[in-house]
Amino acid sequence: MRIDAYNAISQVYQANATSKVNSTGKVASANDKFDISDTAKTYSVAKTAVAESSDVREDKIADIKARIAAGTYAVSAEDVADKIVNSVSTLTF
């Protein structure tokens, strides 16, 4: 790569020249406004609701704990085997 050729071209096009932007110092007028769409408002409400909800289903956990304590909680060996096979079959190597 020839740097001297690049420098010559950038001088021709004045790519390295900087220009100062003049600031007018204007303050936003009373007529300036922005609107949030109904979709964005609905999305915001939904996002807040999801953030506040728990990832854990406490009622289901309490039920299982009570059944384990009472000795009535039974898990089928076939169900466990099916879950293991399904989780292994979804792995990609």
pLDDT digits (tens, 9 = 90+) for 21-57: 666 666 666 677 888 889 999 999 999 988 888 778 8
Q: How far apart are CA 60 and CA 56, in angstroms?
A: 9
Number of domains in the chain: 1
Percent of the chain with pLDDT over 70: 66
CA distances from 41 to 20, 32, 33, 89, 90 (A): 40, 20, 17, 41, 37
Q: Is residue 18 part of a domain?
A: no
CA–CA distance, 68 with 74 (Å, rounded to integer): 8
State the pTM of this model: 0.35
Residue 44, domain extent: 37-93
Half-sphere exposure of 65 (CA within 13 A, CB side): 6
Please give the pLDDT value at position 76: 92
Q: Specify if 57 maps to a domain.
A: yes
Q: Is residue 88 part of a domain?
A: yes
In a domain, 6, yes or no: no
Determine the pLDDT at residue 6. Answer: 60
- The terminus-to-terminus CA distance of the chain in angstroms comes to 42
- 16 in a structural domain: no
Arithmetic mean of pLDDT over the chain: 80
Residues in the chain: 93
Tell me, yes or no, whether 1 lies in a domain: no
Is position 28 within any domain?
Answer: no
- Per-residue pLDDT at 84: 93
Q: Is residue 3 part of a domain?
A: no
